């Protein structure tokens, strides 16, 4: 089984720690991980801002980079959702626009092939590897924020929770209003900064109220937003990607 | 006439807008999956009556159960208890139903104005059918039900439901038995509003009291006492 | 409604309303109350997903053959004694209604809550002709008395608390008729009672009613109004003349189709198994209800919406408002920020389509969402609102083909988005050239000690309220190359 890590551009640039944690975790579980250097961004920021046509080359690049892999694993619910939900949509739109058949076929094939083998990390662990106890130790109070695209587009349901419940020493705290969006939303965070900040402030307040030392999620972009507010408010709660908790054996808070 | 032109303009716009719909597609061709349930759960007739009573009560209707023989006495008691003086009565209401009450009966008539109706205390009707799953009464202006306004303006509505043949389980079953050419009024509890802070409050413009009498046996057969 | 919505773009309007603590508290309380109730009402039906799929498919069937069904509807309404009028736009609809009222000689009408007449601004048009329209839905009454604007589809006065409503009743009811009692409290039951007494005279005396409709059934010519208070029944059955203004997309093909919508709508809307009153009428009935019935079929941008094969799903909407009640953006920004009678997620896709991308307000609406998808989850007719939002963003950002008042045109990208478009093109290029991207990543890593805590220019929108993450010493791919030798 050839497993390609799709680290995502946000993690590559800002959160390499998360990418390293995925590698550590998967290698510990006996998975040989590969990182195709040709990968880039899935195109989500462009697509969601209205630049579908600029997204197409990234779709093709992404598919080519992972052409030879059986599984594409990514520590991002929203990038996985982009590939699974929006790539086929982009291909359909190109067909509807009556574009050249070679172009349309290339997009359709690229979309179909990546969509079917892309897994968000917790899905890959639970559904493909069939594990819920990954041998991690993290003796801290932690709360879990289910990010929107993981929750509603991918339908991750209780997979992340089941993994967290098996982490030694971890004290999982219920987050009030867990399923409400944190207010990140990509360019929404700057285009509608006031509403985004208001949503984030409510989320940060709910996080702090749990008494957890860390808030975890399957998306660092949401954690960047929540963490940015927590940090501005001098909150002691740390944003931590779930991969880092699942990779942890020394029990240290990153 | 300008609206005639607009008719053609709107229809032409629609046809242009639908240029992606294949020419050969007929209106019924687009598939509609109808694998939803006809009823939600299996019930005996008695269980359906019980469910109807529960759901009516849940939306603040007052529910009574009786049999055909005791219906006139119950109606008399319910009308007298409140000190009502006048009740409007639709055509075709079995005469025996109100045989034991002494209050003035005002027959439904097209000549009754809304203001005159407003001066009546209550209305007694039957119904076309009732839906157990939703706690709904449906009136179709048929015999024993009257014109729509008589169950609207008076503040107290007493509605008689025959348990033997008037209760269906579900909305789909109800629609199959109703005639769309008749004016229909579906009633689920007394009038209500959620307009203030999205909290439900009963009692606005329609009757604030809805009393439903579920009658076993055949109250149609009741005849006035000799 | 007497006022009109200001044309302020959403971000600016929302920046103000988000800071209004009373509004935030009122909206939070109301939307959270209904959310849990809706979830319980929906959970009662094990076949909800199947009903939802049927609800979407029936509307799609109708929309794909709307011309056919409208002609059929017209025939059947006419056969049953009604008169059908067609209005291509708001002004025409208002003119038709005004002339119909004038023909009766009346100067007052009672109105059932209707989104279509909010959209056309009918009350103002009637007022110009010297005709007074009395709103009879409790929330519409509150809005009308307060000279305010609706901020929610189901509960137009959702932004008002009970105490505010009491004050509005006390101060303003006397201007419109019977005053509020002196000892009026802010208990919802007392407020409802005050509305009952205030409106009673109007119902009993008025001879012209104006309504919308929730559904129109093509095969029978039947109209359906779903309501709670009984004001609908009053307006639909007591007057001599009834005028219903209904959007053309409210058509459904068959009587049988109601079995789907009468299960979907009440549970999604007021979170009830069934709403207190539903009225169904086919034309006129001798000696029962209005002697004269007029149906005004309204286009007003609907056919333009229909022409967009992604955006047309917005026409499935049955106006339940479930999407508003779960929307985190609506909850904080409030309904007025959406600048039209259609607020919330559905408004963000409906307004720019009905009106076209006519001004910076309409251009801003598709961006008024974090794309969290809660709206799509609860939508009883499965409108993929995030999909349409992104589609409309594309129309704003890249321009493209659209239909305006029946004419296909190609619109240019919005002017405000020029700088963004250049930046996005550059970003797209860089992301497609990983070597260039890596250089930028390394540069960012090397200069990380000098990164400011607060950004200038557009970056301020982030750093005004949020810290930036620290840039790491090396990007992931450098670590990978270092430790795993850069395979593949």
* Residue ranges per structural domain of chain A: 3-128, 141-247
pLDDT for res B3: 54
pLDDT for res B226: 40
The nearest CA of chain A is from the CA of C164 a distance in Å of: 24
Check A46 against C428: CB less than 8 A apart.
yes
Check C54 against B32: CB less than 8 A apart.
yes
SS3 category, B152: coil
Question: How do residues C461-473 score in pLDDT, each as one tens digit?
Answer: 999 999 999 999 9
Angstrom distance (rounded) from CA C96 to CA C85: 8
Question: What are the tokens at C272?
Answer: 């009830």
Is residue C2 pLDDT above 80, yes or no?
Answer: no
Is residue A110 a contact partner of residue A59, using CB atoms and an 8 Å limit? yes
Question: What are the tokens at B159?
Answer: 């509605």
pLDDT for res C3: 61
Whether B81 has its CB under 8 Å from any CB of chain C: the answer is: no
User: Mean pLDDT throughout B116-130?
Assistant: 97
SS (H, E, C) C458-479: HHHHHHCCCCCCCCCCCCHHHH
The nearest CA of chain B is from the CA of C239 a distance in Å of: 10
ipTM for the complex shown: 0.97
Angstrom distance (rounded) from CA A27 to CA A24: 5
Check A194 against C368: CB less than 8 A apart.
no
Angstrom distance (rounded) from CA C431 to CA C437: 6
Tell whether domain A141-247 is in CATH 1.25.40: no
Is residue C373 a contact partner of residue A153, using CB atoms and an 8 Å limit? yes
- Assign residue C399 a region: left if phi > 0, alpha if psi is -120 to 50, beta otherwise? left
Angstrom distance (rounded) from CA C275 to CA B96: 33
Domain assignment present for residue B28? The answer is no
> Computed over its alpha carbons, how large is the radius of gyration of chain B?
22
Check B9 against C230: CB less than 8 A apart.
no
The alpha carbon of residue C274 and the mean position of all alpha carbons in its chain are separated, in whole angstroms, by 22
Which of A35, A39, A48 is facing C371, going by the closest CB pair?
A: A48
Angstrom distance (rounded) from CA B140 to CA C162: 37
The nearest CA of chain A is from the CA of C372 a distance in Å of: 5
The nearest CA of chain C is from the CA of B225 a distance in Å of: 32
Please identify among residues 339-368 of chain C the ones whose CB lies closer than 8 Å to any CB of chain A.
Answer: 366-368
User: What is the distance between the terminal CA atoms of chain B, rounded to a whole angstrom?
Assistant: 64
| Cβ neighbours, 10 Å, residue C39 | 13
Which H/E stretch holds residue B123? strand B122-125
Partners of residue C296 on adjacent β-strands: C85, C245
Q: Give the closest residue to C393 by CA, choosing from C310, C467, C476.
A: C310
Burial of residue A190 (number of CB atoms within 10 Å: 0-12, 13-18, 19+): middle
Angstrom distance (rounded) from CA B141 to CA C288: 9
Question: How do residues C304-325 score in pLDDT, each as one tens digit?
Answer: 999 999 999 999 999 999 999 9
The model's confidence at residue B222, banded by pLDDT at 50, 70 and 90, is: low
Domain assignment present for residue B8? The answer is no
- Give buried/exposed letters for C184-218 (b at 16+ CB in 10 A, else e): beeebebbbbbbbebbbebbbebebbbbbbbbbbb
SS (H, E, C) A208-238: HHCCCCEEEECCHHHHHHHHHHHHHCCCCCE
Which of C51, C86, C136 is facing B6, going by the closest CB pair?
A: C86
SS3 category, B186: strand
pLDDT for res B224: 46
Domain assignment present for residue B36? The answer is no
User: Mean pLDDT throughout C445-453?
Assistant: 84
SS3 category, C484: helix
Is residue A113 a contact partner of residue A151, using CB atoms and an 8 Å limit? no
Angstrom distance (rounded) from CA C160 to CA C30: 10
CATH of the domain at B174: 3.40.50.10420
Check C372 against A52: CB less than 8 A apart.
no
Separation in Å, CA C262 to CA B7, B178, C88, C275, C427: 30, 14, 29, 9, 49
> Computed over its alpha carbons, how large is the radius of gyration of chain A?
18
**Counted domains in chain B:** 1
pLDDT for res C486: 53
pLDDT for res C449: 82
Angstrom distance (rounded) from CA A107 to CA A110: 5
Angstrom distance (rounded) from CA C372 to CA A182: 9
Angstrom distance (rounded) from CA C163 to CA C29: 14
Domain that holds residue B179: 45-221
Angle in degrees, 0-180, between the axes of helices C66-79 and C48-64, rounded to the nearest 10: 90
Question: How do residues C45-86 score in pLDDT, each as one tens digit?
Answer: 999 999 999 999 999 999 999 999 999 999 999 999 999 999
Q: Enumerate neighbours of C (3 or more CB pairs within 8 A).
A: A, B
The nearest CA of chain B is from the CA of C192 a distance in Å of: 6
**B180 chain-C contacts, CB cut-off 8 A:** 217, 220, 222, 255, 280, 282
Q: Give the closest residue to B40 by CA, choosing from B169, B135, B168.
A: B169
Is residue C159 pLDDT above 90, yes or no?
Answer: yes
Q: Which residue has the higher pLDDT, C111 or C449?
A: C111
Regions of chain A with pLDDT less than 50? none
The alpha carbon of residue C40 and the mean position of all alpha carbons in its chain are separated, in whole angstroms, by 23
**B141 chain-C contacts, CB cut-off 8 A:** 285, 288
Whether B24 has its CB under 8 Å from any CB of chain C: the answer is: no
Check B194 against C64: CB less than 8 A apart.
no
Burial of residue B213 (number of CB atoms within 10 Å: 0-12, 13-18, 19+): buried
**A193 chain-C contacts, CB cut-off 8 A:** 11, 15, 461-462, 464-465
Check C376 against A152: CB less than 8 A apart.
yes
Percent of chain C residues topping a pLDDT of 70: 99
Domain assignment present for residue B18? The answer is no
| Cβ neighbours, 10 Å, residue C468 | 18
What domains lie within chain C, and their CATH numbers?
Answer: 45-298 (3.40.50.10420), 435-484 (no CATH)
Is residue C296 pLDDT above 60, yes or no?
Answer: yes
* Beta-carbon pairs below 8 A across chains B and C: 276
């Amino acid at each position: 089984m050839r497993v390609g890590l799709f680290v995502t551009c946000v993690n590559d640039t800002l959160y390499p720690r998360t990418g390293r944690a995925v590698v550590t975790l998967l290698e510990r579980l006996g998975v040989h991980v590969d990182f195709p250097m040709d990968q880039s961004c899935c195109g989500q920021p462009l697509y969601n801002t209205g630049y579908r046509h600029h997204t197409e080359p990234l779709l093709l690049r992404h598919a080519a980079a992972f052409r030879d892999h059986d599984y594409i694993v990514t520590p991002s619910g929203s990038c996985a959702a982009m590939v699974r939900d929006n790539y086929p949509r982009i291909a359909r739109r190109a067909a509807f626009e009556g574009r050249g058949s070679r172009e349309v076929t290339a997009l359709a094939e690229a979309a179909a092939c990546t969509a079917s083998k892309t897994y968000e990390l917790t899905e890959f662990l639970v559904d493909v590897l069939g594990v819920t106890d990954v041998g991690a130790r993290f003796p801290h109070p932690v709360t879990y924020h289910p990010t929107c695209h993981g929750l509603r587009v991918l339908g991750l349901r209780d997979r992340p929770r089941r993994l967290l419940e098996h982490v030694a020493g971890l004290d999982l705290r219920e987050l009030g209003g867990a399923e409400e969006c944190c207010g990140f939303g990509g360019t929404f965070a700057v285009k509608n900064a006031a509403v985004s900040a208001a949503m984030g402030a409510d989320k940060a307040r709910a996080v702090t109220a749990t008494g957890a030392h860390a808030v975890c999620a399957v998306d660092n972009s949401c954690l960047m937003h929540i963490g940015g507010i927590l940090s501005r408010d001098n909150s002691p709660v740390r944003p931590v990607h779930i991969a880092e908790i699942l990779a942890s054996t020394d029990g240290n808070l990153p | 006439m300008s609206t005639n032109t607009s008719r053609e303009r709107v229809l032409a716009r629609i046809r242009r807008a639908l240029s992606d719909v294949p020419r050969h597609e007929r209106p019924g061709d687009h598939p509609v999956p109808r694998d939803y349930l006809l009823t939600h759960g299996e019930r005996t007739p008695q269980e359906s009556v019980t469910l109807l009573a529960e759901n009516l009560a849940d939306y603040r209707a007052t529910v009574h159960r009786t049999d055909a023989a005791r219906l006139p006495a119950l109606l008399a008691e319910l009308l007298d208890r409140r000190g009502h003086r006048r009740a409007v009565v639709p055509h075709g209401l079995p005469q025996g139903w109100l045989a034991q009450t002494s209050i003035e009966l005002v027959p439904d008539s097209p000549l009754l104005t809304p203001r005159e109706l407003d001066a009546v205390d209550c209305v007694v009707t039957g119904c076309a059918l009732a839906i157990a799953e939703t706690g709904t009464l449906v009136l179709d202006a048929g015999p024993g039900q009257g014109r729509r306004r008589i169950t609207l303006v008076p503040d107290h509505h007493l509605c008689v439901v025959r348990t033997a043949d008037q209760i269906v389980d579900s909305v789909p079953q109800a629609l199959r038995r109703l005639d769309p050419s008749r004016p229909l009024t579906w009633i689920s509890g007394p009038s209500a509003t959620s307009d203030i802070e999205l909290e439900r409050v009963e009692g606005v413009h329609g009757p604030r009291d809805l009393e439903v009498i579920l009658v076993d046996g055949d109250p149609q057969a009741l005849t006035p006492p000799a | 409604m007497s006022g009109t919505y200001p044309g302020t773009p959403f971000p600016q309007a929302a920046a103000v309303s988000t800071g209004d603590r009373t509004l935030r508290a009122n909206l939070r309380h109301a939307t959270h109350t209904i959310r849990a109730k809706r979830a319980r009402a929906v959970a009662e039906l094990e076949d909800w997903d199947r009903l939802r799929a049927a609800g979407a498919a029936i509307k799609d069937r109708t929309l794909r053959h709307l011309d056919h069904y409208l002609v059929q509807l017209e025939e059947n309404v006419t056969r049953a004694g009604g008169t059908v009028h067609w209005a291509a736009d708001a002004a025409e609809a208002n003119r038709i209604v005004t002339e119909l009222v004038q023909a009766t000689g009346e100067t007052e009408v009672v109105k059932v809550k209707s989104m279509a007449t909010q959209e056309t601004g009918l009350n103002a048009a009637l007022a110009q002709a010297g005709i007074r329209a009395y709103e009879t839905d409790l929330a519409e009454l509150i809005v009308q008395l307060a000279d305010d604007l609706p901020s929610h589809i189901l509960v137009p006065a959702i932004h008002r608390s009970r105490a505010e409503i009491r004050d509005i009743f006390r101060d303003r009811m006397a201007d419109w008729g019977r005053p509020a009692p002196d000892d009026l409290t802010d208990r919802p039951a007392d407020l409802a009672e005050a509305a009952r007494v205030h409106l009673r005279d109007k119902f009993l005396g008025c001879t012209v009613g104006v309504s919308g409709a929730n559904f129109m059934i093509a095969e029978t010519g039947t109209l359906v109004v779903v309501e709670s208070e009984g004001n609908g029944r009053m307006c639909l059955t007591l007057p001599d003349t009834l005028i219903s203004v209904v959007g053309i997309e409210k058509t459904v093909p068959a009587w049988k189709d109601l079995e789907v919508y009468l299960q979907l709508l009440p549970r999604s809307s007021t979170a009830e198994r069934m709403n207190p009153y539903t009225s169904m009428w086919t034309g006129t009935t001798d000696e029962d209800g209005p002697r004269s019935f007029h149906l005004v079929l309204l286009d007003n941008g609907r056919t333009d919406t229909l022409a967009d094969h992604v955006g047309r799903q917005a026409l499935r909407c049955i106006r339940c408002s479930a999407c508003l009640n779960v929307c985190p953006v609506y909850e904080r920004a409030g309904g007025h920020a959406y600048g039209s009678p259609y607020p919330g997620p559905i408004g963000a896709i409906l307004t720019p389509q009905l009106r076209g991308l006519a001004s910076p307000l309409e251009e801003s609406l598709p961006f008024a969402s974090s794309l969290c998808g809660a709206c799509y989850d609860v939508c009883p007719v499965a409108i993929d609102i995030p999909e349409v939002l992104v589609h409309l963003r594309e129309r704003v950002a890249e321009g493209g083909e659209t239909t305006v008042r029946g004419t296909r045109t190609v619109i240019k990208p919005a002017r405000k988005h020029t700088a963004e478009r250049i930046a996005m093109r550059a970003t797209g290029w860089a992301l497609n050239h990983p070597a260039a991207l890596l250089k930028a990543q390394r540069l960012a890593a090397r200069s990380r000690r000098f990164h400011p805590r607060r950004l200038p220019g557009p970056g301020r929108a982030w750093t005004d309220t949020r810290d930036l993450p620290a840039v790491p010493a090396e990007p992931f791919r450098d670590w990978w190359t270092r430790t795993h030798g850069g395979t593949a």
